[in-house]
Amino acid sequence: MFKHFIIISSTFVLLLANEPISPIPQTVKYNQAKALLGKRLFYDTLLSKDNTVACVVCHNLSSGGADARKVSQGVYGRLGNIQSPTVYNARYNFKQFWNGRANNLKEQAKEALENPNEHDMNPQLIEQRLNASTSYKKLFYKVYHTKKITFNETIDAISEFEKALITPNAKFDKYLRGESSLNHQEKDGYILFKQYGCITCHNGINIGGNSFQKMGTFFPYKTKASYPDRAEILKNKKYHNVFKVPTLRNIALTSPYFHDGSSKTLLQAVKKMAYYNLGIDIPDDDAQKIVAFLKTLTGEKPKIVEAP
């Protein structure tokens, strides 16, 4: 029986190794006390200039960790300049933000807090407000053993919370682990997803988030608006409309789609991407099957989100 288990396990590992997508781990290591402090900060409007905006406003943890609006609204009603991506599974992105200007979650948190269209804060004001709070001073002392709260500790706690925001056990993850099966439409959708070439950019554990690609490879993607792309970072027009490939995890929950929020439905998004980046006018039937596959990528809400 033990030998039989080894053979089955070896076969399963070999099958999994041949797949271009990896399941999300069911658990990850993080500092729980630090993450719970980060959660409180993530929900607190104290970290915005006019006390109206919290991180959760643009990254709604109840609906995919993203924003249902084309662009988010920050302090004093100021609007952002790009669609807010999901914060779920962001730990698996090789860069943060659409144009990859942040290397990690700490840099991402720092920039969001200092962005004039988002929180419009600075390290000194954040430290001043937090140190004026008796409850925060107790919490930071418990976690960091310091009597004076610093900005670095603040973004450290927020990023620790974001590290805990994984969404395991999607139907497709269970399928990859041999614990569940896909129906015919979902399975056909996954096959088409690979055959059409979507898998070229959307692969790995986050099914994206691990490369930069141009929006409009076969046909130019024209828009009247200007978005912060790689050209802005590299100061090179050659990288116009080049963005980080977004994760497809929980994609059914994160409408609207693309950096400009131009597609409201998954079907529209699939057909648009097939046209501009694959040069294909994909049949509706095939697109519907791919959508069925994409809906299997919705995972479980992180346990820490429900924690008090």
pLDDT value at 6 more than 60: no
DSSP state of 97: S
Count of CA atoms in the C-beta half-sphere (13 A) of 190: 20
Phi, psi torsion values for 96, nearest 5 degrees: -115, 155
> pLDDT tens, 136-166?
999 999 999 999 999 999 999 999 999 999 9
Across the range 73-93, mean pLDDT stands at: 97
The domain ranges of the chain are 32-166, 171-297
Question: Rounded to an integer, what distance in angstroms lies between the CA atom of residue 279 and that of residue 101?
Answer: 29
In angstroms, what CA-CA distances link 124 with 28, 74, 136?
33, 20, 16
pLDDT classification of 9: cutoffs 50, 70, 90: very low
pLDDT classification of 16: cutoffs 50, 70, 90: low
Across the range 279-286, mean pLDDT stands at: 97
pLDDT value at 68 more than 50: yes
Please report the pLDDT score of residue 3 as a whole number: 44
What fold is seen in the domain 32-166? Cytochrome Bc1 Complex; Chain D, domain 2 (1.10.760)
pLDDT value at 124 more than 50: yes
pLDDT value at 225 more than 90: no
Helix %, strand %, coil % of the chain (to 5): 45, 5, 45
pLDDT value at 8 more than 90: no
pLDDT value at 308 more than 90: no
pLDDT classification of 298: cutoffs 50, 70, 90: very high
Among 274, 253, 31, 251, residue whose Cα is nearest residue 153:
31
Question: Rounded to an integer, what distance in angstroms lies between the CA atom of residue 155 and that of residue 140?
Answer: 12
> Alpha helix (H) ranges present in the chain?
2-17, 32-42, 55-58, 105-114, 123-131, 134-144, 151-163, 171-176, 184-195, 230-234, 266-278, 284-294, 303-306
Mean pLDDT of the chain, nearest integer: 94
> pLDDT tens, 97-110?
999 999 999 999 99
Share of the chain above pLDDT 70, in %: 94
Which of 61-65, 99-103, 181-185, 291-295 shows the lowest per-residue confidence on average (mean pLDDT)?
A: 61-65
Catalytic residue, candidates 19, 114, 118, 232:
118
Please report the pLDDT score of residue 17 as a whole number: 58
Where is mean pLDDT largest: 3-7, 17-21, 272-276?
272-276
pLDDT value at 14 more than 50: no
The CATH classification of domain 171-297, taken from the options 1.10.443.10, 1.10.760.10, 3.40.50.2300, 1.10.3470.10 = 1.10.760.10
pLDDT classification of 204: cutoffs 50, 70, 90: very high
Question: Rounded to an integer, what distance in angstroms lies between the CA atom of residue 111 and that of residue 243?
Answer: 18
pLDDT value at 12 more than 60: no
Share of the chain above pLDDT 90, in %: 91
Across the range 186-205, mean pLDDT stands at: 98
Across the range 178-189, mean pLDDT stands at: 97
251, 268 Cβ separation under 8 angstroms: no
pTM: 0.92
Please report the pLDDT score of residue 307 as a whole number: 82
pLDDT classification of 28: cutoffs 50, 70, 90: very high
Please report the pLDDT score of residue 197 as a whole number: 97
| Catalytic residue list contains 118 | yes
pLDDT classification of 179: cutoffs 50, 70, 90: very high
